[in-house]
């Protein structure tokens, strides 16, 4: 592995575990659930038993209200919970509570006097429309909405455009295609413009860790909606812990294993049988797209250890239609009879009979036309082709959560992807090798959250994000063998020069600054939260070491 600090990262990880320094940061960026218990007259109730139980894993947490009737759970991951409050002489109250990630959840619980054993249940499981605990302007989408809403290519970032002030960028700036994949030259995964900022100005976080392409900007890993517990975009006035970019903060929380074993599967199909024909195509362009996969998880050890995993495959064969003006067989021999007058560049006078002498034809140009530019197949000296653009992807990931104790949680996860795209029209209208782009993506994170006292919570994280990509594979042809008097600057990207004929066609291999690139970002961070009554003081530090190498 190229990254120069990987050994140091392993050493730091081992040291953190051995010293139990709150391990590696909570990628959940845990929220704080707090509240006050009163009677119907508003008097506080100290000594009430409060239990917060995760409806995902069934793991309970208990506390007692203090002299002011207040309680707090400081390291609560995003999800659905059930709150139970009981005290002798009062009705027991249970409440379903939705906890958005990294957002304080204040609760007021009122207990009624009970003549005998009674209980009351309240349902607050829907996320609040207005979060009074923070000033940021944003949008939060739970797992159910991510799965049920129609998304082109199942790209969750498209949901960001539901926010006011958020627009998909124009195609010239990357657009917002459903099949966006990092690893190339352009900003294909920048996703959107926020409040007039460039689409390179967004900060993507995956389980609290950076998920940014440091070369092109935009995201790196894109888990399928079934593997996402919550998606959130913040566009204005977000907290001090979010920096780096002036645009939006896009936060994704991945799914964890459930208390009971569950699984799901999906398959989406698009076919040219349902497509309208292109009126300019000789034949109907092909479209054969399949997006499929599955996910599952459950408890390895009841209420202690949970696992979740997923796989998604993507297969797309899409025909594209391209029509270009190409020279006929007679024109390639120099005969332009019937066409506009062809003038001798040396004298400025028309060639006799509008025919260029064979001795004046450039041998390199003649060879390029003969070997790589086909003859017309349409009237008017035009050539129409509908080659297939082939796209193959594999996305997979796994996550392990361990409740080491009621105050100590450990989580580790890995996401990875392999992509291969071939576009014959990518480099030019007529290319000797088309355009084959490959990428291998990886994101690893280990985190630990620890409640070290009744008022203090700490978590730390170590993550590694990696892109290993070949944006394009050239033909390997040495231009000197064709007759060009040039010396290639990059032996790893040998190919024909890219030539453009104005108003007609382009020819050659892709123009590129490099043939391969490796990006790696190592992040080490720590966050600490101190609760003082209804107030919380949060501080943290983050160290990012980025490395980039191109060939």
Residue 86: in which H helix or E strand, if any? strand 79-86
CB 70 within 8 A of CB 33: no
Q: Are strands 31-39 and 105-111 parallel, antiparallel or unpaired?
A: parallel
> What count of other Cβ atoms lies within 10 Å of the Cβ of residue 402?
17
pLDDT (tens place) for every residue of the chain, 551 residues total: 444 444 344 433 443 333 333 333 333 456 678 889 998 888 899 999 999 988 877 878 888 898 888 888 877 877 889 999 998 888 889 998 888 776 778 889 998 887 655 556 656 556 555 565 666 778 888 888 888 888 878 888 888 888 888 887 765 444 555 556 666 666 677 678 888 888 788 889 999 899 988 887 788 888 999 999 988 888 887 777 787 778 888 889 999 998 889 999 999 998 888 877 777 766 777 889 999 999 999 999 988 999 999 999 999 998 888 999 999 999 999 999 888 899 999 999 999 999 999 999 999 999 999 999 999 999 989 999 888 889 999 999 999 999 888 888 899 999 999 999 888 888 899 988 878 888 999 999 999 888 877 778 888 999 999 999 888 888 888 999 988 988 888 887 888 999 999 989 999 988 776 778 899 999 999 988 887 776 778 888 899 998 988 77
Sign of the CA dihedral 171, 173, 177, 182?
Answer: positive
CA 502 to chain centre: 38
- DSSP type of residue 346: T
> What count of other Cβ atoms lies within 10 Å of the Cβ of residue 74?
22
Question: Which residue is listed with tokens 């006799």?
Answer: 352
Structural tokens at position 419: 């992509």
**Could you tell me the CATH superfamily of domain 30-124?**
Immunoglobulins (2.60.40.10)
Q: Which of 513, 399, 478 is nearest to 446 (CA)?
A: 399
Structural tokens at position 256: 């964890």
- DSSP type of residue 212: B
How far is 295 from 429, CA to CA, in rounded Å?
Answer: 41
How far is 278 from 270, CA to CA, in rounded Å?
Answer: 17
Q: Where are the domains of the chain?
A: 30-124, 327-372
pLDDT at 85: 92
Q: Are strands 105-111 and 79-86 parallel, antiparallel or unpaired?
A: unpaired
């Amino acid at each position: 592995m190229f990254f120069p600090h990987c050994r140091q990262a392993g050493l730091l990880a081992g040291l953190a575990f051995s010293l139990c320094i709150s391990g590696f940061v909570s990628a959940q960026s845990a929220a704080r659930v707090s509240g006050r218990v009163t009677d119907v007259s508003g008097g506080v109730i100290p000594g009430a038993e409060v239990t917060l139980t995760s409806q995902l894993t069934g793991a309970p947490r208990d506390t007692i209200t203090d002299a002011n009737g207040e309680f707090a759970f400081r390291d609560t991951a995003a999800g659905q919970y059930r709150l139970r409050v009981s005290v002798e002489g009062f009705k027991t109250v249970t409440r379903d509570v939705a906890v958005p990630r990294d957002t304080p959840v204040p609760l007021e619980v009122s207990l009624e006097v009970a003549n005998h054993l009674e209980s009351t249940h309240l349902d607050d499981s829907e996320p609040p429309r207005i979060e009074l605990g923070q000033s940021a302007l944003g949008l939060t989408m739970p797992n159910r909405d991510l799965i049920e809403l129609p998304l082109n290519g199942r790209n969750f970032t498209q949901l960001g455009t539901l926010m006011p002030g958020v627009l998909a960028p124009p195609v010239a700036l990357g657009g917002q295609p459903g099949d966006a994949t990092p690893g190339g030259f352009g900003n294909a995964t920048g996703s959107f413009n926020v409040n007039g900022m460039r689409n390179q100005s967004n900060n993507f976080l995956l389980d609290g860790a950076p998920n940014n392409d440091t070369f092109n900007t935009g995201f790196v890993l894109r888990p399928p909606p079934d593997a996402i517990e919550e998606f959130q975009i913040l566009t204005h006035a977000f907290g001090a812990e979010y920096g780096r970019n002036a645009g939006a903060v896009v936060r994704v929380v991945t799914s964890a294993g459930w208390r009971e074993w569950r699984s799901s599967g999906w398959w989406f199909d698009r076919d040219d049988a349902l497509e309208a024909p292109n009126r300019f195509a000789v034949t109907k362009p092909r479209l054969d797209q399949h997006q499929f996969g599955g996910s599952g998880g459950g408890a390895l050890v009841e209420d202690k250890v949970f696992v979740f995993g997923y796989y998604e495959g993507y297969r797309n064969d899409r025909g594209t239609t391209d029509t270009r003006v190409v020279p006929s067989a007679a024109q390639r021999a120099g005969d332009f009879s019937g066409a506009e007058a062809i003038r001798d560049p040396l004298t400025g006078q028309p060639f006799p009979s509008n025919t260029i002498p064979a001795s004046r034809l450039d041998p390199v140009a003649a060879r390029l036309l003969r070997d790589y530019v086909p003859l017309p197949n349409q009237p008017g000296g035009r050539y129409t082709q509908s080659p297939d653009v082939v796209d193959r992807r594999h996305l997979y990931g796994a996550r392990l959560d361990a409740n080491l104790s009621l105050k100590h949680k450990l989580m580790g996860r890995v996401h990875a992807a392999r992509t291969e795209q071939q576009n014959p029209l990518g480099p030019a209208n007529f290319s000797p090798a088309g355009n084959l782009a490959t990428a291998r993506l990886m994101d690893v994170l280990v985190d630990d959250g620890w409640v070290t006292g009744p008022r203090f919570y700490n978590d730390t994280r170590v993550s590694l994000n990696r892109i290993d990509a070949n944006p394009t594979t050239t033909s390997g042809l040495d231009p000197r063998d064709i007759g060009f008097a040039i010396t290639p600057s990059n032996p790893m990207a040998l190919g024909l020069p890219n030539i453009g004929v104005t108003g007609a066609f382009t020819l050659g291999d892709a123009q590129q600054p490099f043939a391969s690139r490796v990006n790696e970002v190592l992040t080490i961070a720590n966050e600490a939260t101190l609760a003082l009554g209804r107030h919380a003081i949060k501080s943290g530090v983050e160290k990012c070491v980025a490395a980039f190498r191109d060939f």
